[in-house]
A and B are shown apart, each in its own frame.
Chain A
Amino acid sequence: MTPHSNVLFRFAAPQAFYGLAGRLWPWVAALATVFGVWGLWTGMFVAPIDFQQGQAYRIIFVHVPASWMSMIIYLAMAFWAVLGLTFNTRLSGMMNRALAPTGAMFAFLSLWTGALWGKPMWGAWWVWDARLTSELILFFLYLGFMGLTASIDDPRRSDKAGGLLALVGAINVPIIYFSVRWWNTLHQGASVTVTQGSSMAQTMLWAMLLMALSFWLYAIAIALYRIRTLILEREKHTQWVNAELRPEGAS
């Protein structure tokens, strides 16, 4: 075994990860705040008005980052599900539980800000368009994951069932992403693509990328924070949790 994988396996132990997450999350949260303030400043005070959509286009600075995060978090959950189902690592299931509420929130925000953008631009809060419908399904997948894992008492079985749902549901993510190309949708195509670069003005693009980075760091910070709570709950009968929680000075 290489030294690198040793490190990975060391932190796969809940006790080691509890400490690591506790040291990491404040820094990640601070970075998320810095990039968030920078992104908001650029988006609201530097980026010019859009020649087609007027000021309404500024919704993009929360809509696109929230939508990206809703998909990225689900892919992250599918990744942990694979690890959990193949190596039987305890941390994977807890990681997915820590991620799911944030993913659900971002999926909801994607739909919410999309509705508020759709109304003035298309004249409708909602249409049964491929992009919108598949994002709605993603939101339901998150809710399904949370409901399913909460309804099974045995943690191992609960993790396994949740992992399967995360894995099977991941097929929906490429469907969301490519929906604007595969079908004729009312939703506009991608403004930023890997192959063609961006069709947006420089400052607009910068603001959007800064906000996306901020949301990404936020998701990491809150997941690191939440997994510590989950680890304590799960490991409450162990020596180290007892030692960790013992009030200062007590024997």
Chain B
Amino acid sequence: MIWNSAGEFWAMGGYGLYVWGSFGVTFLLMGGEVILAGRRHRQICESLQMQAMTRDAVQDSAQDWQA
């Protein structure tokens, strides 16, 4: 192990702000992108399912009316 203590690790030899600012924002953005992509996919699936259900309902009622 190259570090003697946890404090030494977080301090990064006095460059903590720069090192953790780089790694922190990198993982924040990558994690955020994953969450946004997942949310967008679910939204699209739900709205398309809703449209399909509405279409089915309209077709059904049209058939009832014709009968």
Distance of A66 Cα from B40 Cα, bound (Å): 24
A-chain residues with CB within 8 Å of residue B23 when the two chains form the complex: 59, 62
A105→B25 CA distance, assembly (Å): 11
Count of chain B residues near A, Cβ 8 A: 30
Q: Could you say which residues of chain B place their CB within 8 Å of the CB of A232?
A: 41, 44-45, 48
* In contact, B52 and A245 (Cβ under 8 angstroms): yes
CB <8 Å contact, B15 and A56: yes
Interface of B is mostly: helix
Known: A225-B41, A236-B51, A245-B48. A55 touches B19 (CB 8 A): yes
Please classify how large the interface on chain A is, using the bins under 10, 10 to 19, 20 to 34, 35 or more: 35 or more
Q: CA A120 – CA B44 in complex, angstroms?
A: 45
Question: Does more than half of chain A's interface fall in helix, strand or loop, or is it mixed?
Answer: helix
> Can you list 28 contacts pairing A with B, beta carbon distance less than 8 Å?
A48-B2, A55-B13, A55-B15, A55-B19, A56-B13, A58-B12, A59-B18, A62-B22, A62-B26, A102-B33, A105-B30, A105-B33, A109-B29, A112-B22, A113-B22, A116-B21, A120-B15, A218-B30, A222-B33, A222-B34, A229-B37, A229-B40, A232-B41, A233-B44, A241-B48, A245-B49, A245-B52, A247-B49
Q: A-contacting residues of B (Cβ < 8 Å)?
A: 1-3, 9, 12-15, 17-19, 21-23, 25-26, 29-30, 33-34, 37-38, 40-41, 44-45, 48-49, 51-52
